[in-house]
Chains A and B, each alone.
Chain A
Amino acid sequence: NAGVTQTPKFQVLKTGQSMTLQCAQDMNHEYMSWYRQDPGMGLRLIHYSVGAGITDQGEVPNGYNVSRSTTEDFPLRLLSAAPSQTSVYFCASSNAPGIEAFFGQGTRLTVV
């Protein structure tokens, strides 16, 4: 049982580059979300989805796009990377929003 799988685990980008962080879950959860973790800030919600075709913004959405074409996948796109987006990114899924969630192992992103 894989749970929530994130790829890649590490990534270095140059300022202005774009990339997609992948997230897949095999638990048939409707709710998926993306967080970033920064020192002293905890986890902050970027975007979330309550089901295929439905997405919405969280606390810090600027500079990121998401889509949800299937129940399993919820990719996060960085449109034009900036050093302020250097962070650890976590994808999570759950049966419903705001309850116990399963997290992926994280993607450590560095933008230089």
Chain B
Amino acid sequence: DQQVKQNSPSLSVQEGRISILNCDYTNSMFDYFLWYKKYPAEGPTFLISISSIKDKNEDGRFTVFLNKSAKHLSLHIVPSQPGDSAVYFCAARGYNNNDMRFGAGTRLTVKP
């Protein structure tokens, strides 16, 4: 069962515009959420995280929003740059802290 879902396999945006990547989860015991970015032939790299006690976290051009009632989080990238083109994974930590679940990823393409 996929407890973390990224329903959009791909997303294409123009340089300078906003990119919005979405993630849904089913397990209400998840208490910490992370986004990773992955370039081809490389391992994922940590991007930004949010605790379940918050609804927003910002880091430069990247903002993550959490809607606990809807079990939904989103990553906003503003403005998008061609170097942001990568696969983005959403991840969630379970209550026992060892149970990390990842979504299937969304491939973002930022066109110049």
Contacts and interface: CB of A to CB of B under 8 A. Distances in A.
Interface of A: 4, 33, 35, 40-45, 48, 50, 56, 58-59, 90, 92, 96-106
A74 B39 CA distance: 24
B100 A45 contact: yes
Given A41-B104, A42-B4, A42-B103, A98 B44 contact: no
Nearest to B30: A98
25 contacts: A4-B43, A41-B2, A42-B4, A42-B6, A42-B89, A42-B103, A42-B104, A43-B89, A45-B100, A45-B101, A50-B98, A56-B98, A59-B99, A97-B93, A97-B100, A98-B32, A98-B100, A99-B34, A100-B49, A101-B46, A102-B46, A103-B36, A104-B43, A105-B41, A106-B43
A96 B100 CA distance: 12
Contact of A98 (B2, B43, B97): B97
Contacts of B44: 43, 90, 103
B87 to A, nearest CB: 10
B49 to A, nearest CB: 6
Contacts of B45: 103
Interface of B: 2, 4, 6, 32, 34, 36, 41-46, 49, 89, 91, 93-94, 97-105
Contacts, number: 65
B104 A40 contact: yes
Contacts of A96: 97
A43 B3 CA distance: 12
Contacts of B100: 33, 45, 97-98
B102 A44 contact: yes
Contacts of B4: 42
> Which of B41, B98, B103 is packed against the most chain A CB atoms within 10 Å?
B98
